Amino acid sequence: MSPSIKAEQQSITLEGRSLTKTYHTGAVDVHALRGVDISLYEGELVVLLGPSGSGKSTLLNILGGLDSPSSGRVRFRDTEITDGDESVLTHYRRFHVGFVFQFYNLIPSLTASENVSLVTEIATDPMDPAEALTLVGLGERLGHFPAQLSGGEQQRVAIARAIAKRPDVLLCDEPTGALDSETGILVLEAIERVNRELGTTTAVITHNTVIGEMADRVIHFGDGHVVSSERNATRRAAGELSW
Amino acid sequence: MEVEGAAHRTPWGDPVRALNKKLVRNLWKLRGQVLAIAIVIASGVAVLVMSLSALQALTETTEAYYERQRFGEVFASVKRAPQRLIEQIRTIPGVRSVDHRIKYLATLSIEGFEEPVIGQLVSIPEGAQPKLNQLVLREGRLVSPGHPDEVVLSEPFADAHGMQPGDSFQALMNSNLRTLTVVGVALSPEYVYTIGPGALMPDDHRFGVMWIGREALEAAYDLDGAFNDLSLGLLHGTNPQDVIERLDQLLERYGGTGAIPRAEQISNWFLMNEIEMQKTMSTILPTIFLAVAAFLSNMVLGRLIATDRSEIGLMKAFGYSNRQVGWHYAKLVMAMAGVGIILGWAAGAWLGRVNTEIYAEFYRFPLLIFRPDPGVFAIGAMVSLIAALAGSLGAVRRAANLPPAEAMMPPAPPLYRKTRISGSRFILWLDQPTRIILRQIVRAPFKALFTSIGIACSVAVMIMALQWLDSIEKIVDVFFHDAQRQDMMVGLVETQSDTTLLEFRRMPGVLAAEPMRAASVEFHAGTRTHRGAIEGIPDDPQLQRVYDAGGRVVQLPPEGLLLSTALAEKLNLDIGDRVQVDVLEGRRPKRTIPVVDLYETYIGMTAYMNIDAFNRMMGERGSLEYVTLLVDDSRLPALYKELKALPKVAAVTLKDAAVREFNKTMAETILIYISFFAAFACALGFGVVYNSTRIALSERGRELATLRVLGFHRGEISYILLGEAGLLILVGLPLGVLTGAGLGWFMTSAMDSELYRIPLVIKASTNAIAVLVTLAATLLSAAVVRNRLDHLDLIAVLKTRE
């Protein structure tokens, strides 16, 4: 792995070192992460592949400031966030990270554009909600409530909401997991576009190997470890994927 | 406790048991909410059990006491009637027994007590109990023959002055200063509530009942072979009104002022009034609490069923019937209600006991029958069970009727549409979190409304309790401060001539003295009649003014009657009408007199007349029966000394003492109730807010977690959840102030009687206290929920599909 990092001249946006995470559930300890080193470089699109239970979501949660590691460090640019208290983590999430989940988690009582405004109202240099929604192809559906949108549309609103604050990192956890392939590709196109046009460092978790083809780099995950990391020679456009 | 083979006996054996386990676990999971609902139910049950058991204890105790001591059923007083009349009275159909007595007021001097004390002297046969109104001897013995100076004191009076058998004091009886020796201390059913002349509340220091041998009183008041008071016992089923009619005919020529049935006997009247009040309480308050409990159980169950959807689908897929599913959730409601009922029973039994003991102590019942009927508890349980089940009926039916396939699918996302309110220009002006709050309310307006109503009920209950103090303060203010300028009122033994007034004006410390007359009369207007009194007061009185409760001093016209509005209403009279007045005293004149003005008063139904007109009506010149005095405080001891020695003086009523006593009694009794109600109001406020915010948290945990992920601070997401509660509280509080006024109005109107009318007065501070108490209770519940909110597990919430 190290030769490839050395080959990179790009700077590191987010890195985790020797991360472990142990959950104490009843009598047994579950080791979700068993010492993970990972770096996300400025502007790259990384796909983390792995079977369910391999610890990739735990890693993403820790990188995104939703959870703390049992040991190890997380560094965002020059800031150490591992030891941060609740307010440091909130600040980090508020200004630097965008999340997209498998279940879109939109606020049902707010329209698409209001769901985006939720974030832009508290951000420092946000884009216009309409602009964000146009970026994901929903410029026509600004005033619709979540219940009036299809699943794919809801997920794209979630992406617009995640990127409208111009985050430094976009973390997507199984963003197509609840969608059919056709709709899933629309969502991936939106992610791809954000990554390309805004240069947002993006990590996508999936168990769908096909999605790896659209990445700059694919990291394979298994049983709490990084199994391998390989760089794609060329990124395939999301629209060309099929599964 | 596994029963071997149980699973084989019935196809449902194990699953049903499993279902019961689920029930218990659900209850445990929801324990906070279950407890909050249980507390509200418990409050309702407690008030119901408390009022009903106190009602029952009070009724049974009074009945037993009356029965045991042979409390009279008809009472009458006369000027002076020969004892041979008794034979005639006995022949009135329905009369079982007749007890004739001599009753007088006397001024007493008690060592160590400077102020004059009024003694109500009542005769009893020497060496025996009277036939009716028998005494309960608490200490010592009854008076014995041949000892005219022996006296039995009423227990409250003896206690107030620390007197025991063997002690003695002086009494001015018919111009003779006598030394009386206490031989016994007793209680009487006739004086459960002892109220002195001109007083509003019992004052055991300044007014006391005492029993003296009949022969001693006959001799003292020159009533040999005569009597001036009667009490009758009636045969079962006799209408007292028939007896009274015949009795009044017999007594008329002896100066009878009209007989009254037991119901109008003053002590009994107050007791019955108290019982009525308990009845009102036992209906209104439990209704409020149980209605709120019904709403809360509906809310909690509705939410539980929403989260249980897939389990319900699963149960049905396994073959459970709709009825079994419905019954499962009904059992949950019954379990919640059951916790409340048991808590309520315990609290109600305890409060009922405390309540009854307060009464027993206040009224000094010699016996106390407190054995709450199991029926009372059963009623409490039934009513609250029905309320809780009725409240959750809709939710249970929804659960039972969910088709299994649909139930196992996640519910569709809640549908929000653009409405006039949610899409208005106003809302576009707000930030997103505030829009979330408003849209949430607009989407479930009834739920929001009921939450506000629940909070309003909490405020209203508190206002209703506190408002009593305001109303009573108002009565005291108007009656004692605004209307009465005098410091004391002196009752005279006989009608006196004008020169008596001069005598009083010359007494030490007297700054002003005014005459007053009073006569018992019967008013007739068409078919309506009222037995009451007319008071004669001078032109432009400075001391005893006629004061309208609205805040104006009413000018007394030279001729005609000035009626209280309550009396005018009773007789259906207005200004300009004429009313027939049959005087029941003196020469018993009958006149038709015009009503010239009306005034409003809270106490009594007095009619006033100019004293000169009064004397003309009575056919007497320049006479008086009462003197009102304004005195210089520094000369009081000298004045007291003189009053105590003046044979003409029958009674002295001190205003300050009356006010003091009034306030003391109020503080002792009412404050206890207020604290009960404050606790109930808090339970309501807490229960409502806790449940609605907990449910909102459960419904919207995902939403709030999403916001946390998006970088919102804890405070910011609390704003969304608690802001909604806050808004509903904000609506609920003023609503509560209004509801409280309505409830107060209902309660005070329910208490209206001929003796007093309670004005509805709610001070700003009362509203403020009620609002603050409710606010504190709701803030407490908000704080509990906020604490949960701070420990929201972000990942767990977001990882699961709702």
User: Taking the domains of chain B in order of start, what are their residue ranges?
Assistant: 17-71+267-411, 72-266, 426-484+656-802, 510-631
Residue in the block written with tokens 């030769």: A3
> Residue B766: which of B462, B474, B476, B477 has the closest Cα?
B462
* Cβ-Cβ contacts under 8 Å for B445 (sequence gap 6 or more): none
How many CB atoms are located within 10 Å of the residue B253 CB?
12
- What is the spatial distance between Cα B141 and Cα B324, in angstroms, rounded to a whole number? 71
Count CA atoms closer than 13 A to B648's CA, side-chain side. 16
Beta pairing class for B74-82 and A225-231: unpaired
Q: Give the model confidence (pLDDT) of A150-173 as tens digits.
A: 888 998 999 999 989 889 999 999
Q: What's the pLDDT tens digit per position in B230-285? A: 999 999 999 999 999 999 999 988 988 889 999 989 899 888 888 887 787 777 77
Tell me how far apart the alpha carbons of residues A112 and A128 are, in angstroms, rounded to a whole number: 13
Confidence at residue B8, expressed as pLDDT on a 0 to 100 scale? 40
Residue pair B668/B201 in contact by the 8 Å Cβ criterion: no
Mean pLDDT of B86-106: 94
Instruction: Categorize the per-residue pLDDT at B410 as very low, low, confident or very high, splitting at 50, 70 and 90.
Output: low
Task: Report the relative pairing of strands A45-49 and A201-206 from DSSP bridges.
Answer: parallel
What local confidence, expressed as pLDDT, does residue B411 receive?
64
DSSP per-residue letters across B292-343: HHHHHHHHHHHHHHHHTHHHHHHHHHTT--HHHHHHHHHHHHHHHHHHHHHH
Mean pLDDT to the nearest integer, B515-529 = 91
B428 vs B36, residue with greater confidence: B36
Asked if the Cβ–Cβ distance from A147 to B431 is below 8 Å, we say no
The verdict on ipTM greater than 0.90 is: no
Q: How many residues does chain B have?
A: 802
Q: What's the whole-number average pLDDT of chain B?
A: 86
Residues of A with CB below 8 A from B417's CB? 145
What's the token pair of residue A165? 């604050």
What 3-state DSSP class applies to B155?
Answer: helix
Give the separation between CA B543 and CA B679, rounded to whole angstroms: 44
Q: Hey, how many other C-beta atoms are within 10 angstroms of the C-beta on B638? A: 13
pLDDT, position B206:
87
Torsion, Cα of B296, B298, B303, B309 (10° steps): 160
Closest residue by Cα to residue B357 from B344, B370, B374? B370
Locate the chain B residue with the closest alpha carbon to A90.
B711
Which phi and psi (to 5°) does residue A72 adopt? Answer: 105, 175
pLDDT given for residue B121 in this prediction: 95
If you count residue pairs, one on A and one on B, with CB atoms under 8 Å apart, how many are there?
90
CB contact (8 A) between residue B432 and residue A121: yes
Q: Name the pLDDT band for A6 (thresholds 50, 70, 90).
A: very low
| For range B19-43, the mean pLDDT | 84
For residue B334, pLDDT over 80 is answered with yes
Nearest residue to B537 via CA among B608, B630, B622: B608
Q: Is B801 on the interface with A (CB under 8 A)?
A: yes
Of B417, B431, B440, the CB nearest to A121: B431
On the 0-12 / 13-18 / 19+ scale of CB atoms within 10 A, B749 is: exposed
Chain B, window 418-437: residues with a beta carbon less than 8 angstroms from a chain A beta carbon:
418, 431-433, 435-436
pLDDT tens digits, B758-793: 889 999 999 999 999 889 988 888 888 888 888 877
How close, in Å, is residue A12 to chain B by CA atoms?
A: 23
For chain A, domain boundaries = 2-240
User: Which of B228, B226, B116, B101 has its CA nearest to residue B172?
Assistant: B116
Mean pLDDT for B445-463 is 88
Cβ atoms of B760 and B748 closer than 8 Å: yes
Q: What is the pLDDT of residue B797?
A: 67
Contact state of A147 with B415 under an 8 Å Cβ cutoff: yes
Task: Report pLDDT digits (tens) over B677-711.
Answer: 888 888 888 888 888 888 888 888 888 888 888 88
Residue B159 corresponds to which tokens in the numbers above?
Answer: 């206690």
Tokens of B678: 């404050």
Chain A residue with the nearest C-alpha to that of B702: A105
The more confidently predicted of residues B1 and B542 is B542
- The distance of Cα B649 from the centroid of its chain, to the nearest Å, equals 36
pLDDT single digits (tens) A67-101: 889 999 999 998 888 877 888 888 898 899 999 98
Pairing type for strands B113-124 and B207-213 reads: parallel
Pairing state of beta strands B226-234 and A28-41?
unpaired
pLDDT of residue B376: 84
Interface test with A, best of B424, B431, B436, B709 (most A CBs within 10 A): B709
Residue A204 has pLDDT above 90, yes or no: yes
Q: Identify whether the C-beta of residue B396 lies closer than 8 Å to the C-beta of residue B326.
A: yes
CB contact burial A4-42 (16+ within 10 A = b; e otherwise)? eeeeeeeebbbbbbebbbeeeeeeeeeebbeebbbbbbe
**How many of the other CB atoms lie within 10 Å of CB of B770?**
28
Please tell me if residue B792 touches chain A, with a CB cutoff of 8 Å.
no
Q: What is the pLDDT of residue B369?
A: 86
Task: Specify the residue for token string 């008013």.
Answer: B523
* Helix B266-307 and helix B374-401, axial crossing angle in degrees, nearest 10: 20
Judged against a pLDDT cut of 70, whether residue B418 lies above it is answered with no
Strand duo A12-25 + A28-41: pairing: antiparallel
For B571-606, give the DSSP string. Answer: HT--TT-EEEEEE-STT--EEEEEEEEEE--SB---
- Whether A3 shows a pLDDT value over 50: the answer reads no
In terms of Cα–Cα distance, which of A103, A98, A104, A109 is closest to A164?
A98
Q: B447 and B699 in contact (C-beta within 8 Å)?
A: no
Closest residue, chain A, to B800 (C-alpha): A103
| pLDDT tens, position by position, B2-11 | 444 333 444 4
User: Which parts of B91-225 are beta strand (E)?
Assistant: 95-101, 103-110, 113-124, 136-140, 150-154, 168-173, 176-187, 207-213
Instruction: Compute the distance between CA of residue B741 and CA of residue B463 in angstroms, rounded to an integer.
Output: 7
pLDDT band at B801 (very low <50, low <70, confident <90, very high): low
Most confident of A127-141, B297-311, B380-394, B476-490: A127-141
Q: To which residue do tokens 């499962």 refer?
A: B328
Residue B285 CA to residue B219 CA, distance in Å, equals: 56
B34, B339 Cβ separation under 8 angstroms: yes
CATH 1.10.1740 for the B510-631 domain, yes or no: no
Closest Cβ opposite residue B416 in set A109, A117, A119:
A109
The reported pLDDT for the residue numbered B41 is: 86
Q: Could you write out the DSSP letters of every residue in B512-536?
A: EEEEEEEEEEEEEETTEEEEEEEEE
**What is d(CA B641, CA B636) in angstroms, rounded to the nearest whole number?**
8
- Collapsed DSSP state (helix, strand, coil) of residue B413: coil
pLDDT higher than 90, residue B576: yes
* Nearest residue, CB atoms, A66 vs list B413, B716, B794: B794
- B788's tokens: 């949960």
Residue A209 Cα, gap to closest chain B Cα (Å):
21
B337 and B14 Cβ atoms separated by less than 8 Å: no
DSSP letters spanning A142-206: TT--GGGS-HHHHHHHHHHHHHTT--SEEEEESTTTTS-HHHHHHHHHHHHHHHHHH--EEEEEE
Using the predicted structure, report yes or no on whether residue B469 has a pLDDT greater than 80. Answer: yes
> Rounded to an integer, what is the distance from CA B294 to the centroid of its chain?
27
- Inform me whether the C-beta atom of residue B713 falls under 8 Å from chain A C-beta atoms: yes
- pLDDT-derived band at A5, boundaries 50, 70, 90: very low
Quickly state the pLDDT bin for B662 (edges 50, 70, 90). Answer: confident
Selecting from B418, B713, B801 the residue whose C-beta is nearest the C-beta of A90 gives B713
pLDDT of residue B310: 76
Residue A65 C-alpha, separation from nearest chain B C-alpha, in angstroms: 9
For the ranges B191-205, B393-407, B589-603, the maximum mean pLDDT occurs at: B589-603
Residue B687 to residue B293: CA distance in whole angstroms: 9
pLDDT at B270: 85
Q: Pairing relation of β-strands B150-154 and B207-213?
A: antiparallel
- Which of B620, B634, B581, B289 has the alpha carbon at shortest distance from B464? B289
- In order of B62, B360, B501, the CA distances from B369 in angstroms are 9, 10, 51
Write the DSSP string, B537-583. E-SS-SSB--EETTTEEPPPPSSSEEEEHHHHHHHT--TT-EEEEEE
Q: Which fold has domain A2-240?
A: Rossmann fold (3.40.50)
Angle, helices A151-163 vs A181-198, to 10°: value is 20
The alpha-carbon gap from A175 to the nearest alpha carbon of chain B, in Å, equals 12
